[in-house]
Amino acid sequence: MSSVQHHLLLCATPTKALCGDPAVGAASWDRLKQLVRELGLEEPGRPKGVVLRTKADCLRVCCDGPVLLIWPEGLTYGGVTPERIERIVHQHVIGGEPIEEWIVRRTPFSRPLAPG
């Protein structure tokens, strides 16, 4: 498998009322799938690495949903609509510039412990 540039996890099937509107989550997921395919982000030979996408049931951010978690940065976007998905993919995933006003949580990877 090619290297991975980003992994996008979208909480698109909320199980709690506070998670957001399931219809918006489903529409956002459909748009994310479409964009990743249209832009060739999942192509194995992509020089920057592939972009993986996963539809999640719960990302433990029970407000501001639907939410989109982007690794490796560990940034979670809230209120993710199909329109926001478009901007996030173009500006953050492709352009490398996070959209600060939509970020609701930062969860960076912890650094591994040095061998002792």
Residue extents of the structural domains in the chain: 4-106
CA gap 14, 34 in Å, rounded: 21
| pLDDT tens track for 35-74 | 999 999 999 999 999 999 999 877 777 677 889 999 999 9
Of residues 111 and 91, the one with the higher pLDDT is 91
| pLDDT tens track for 88-110 | 999 999 999 999 999 999 987 76
- Superfamily of domain covering 4-106: Glutaredoxin (3.40.30.10)
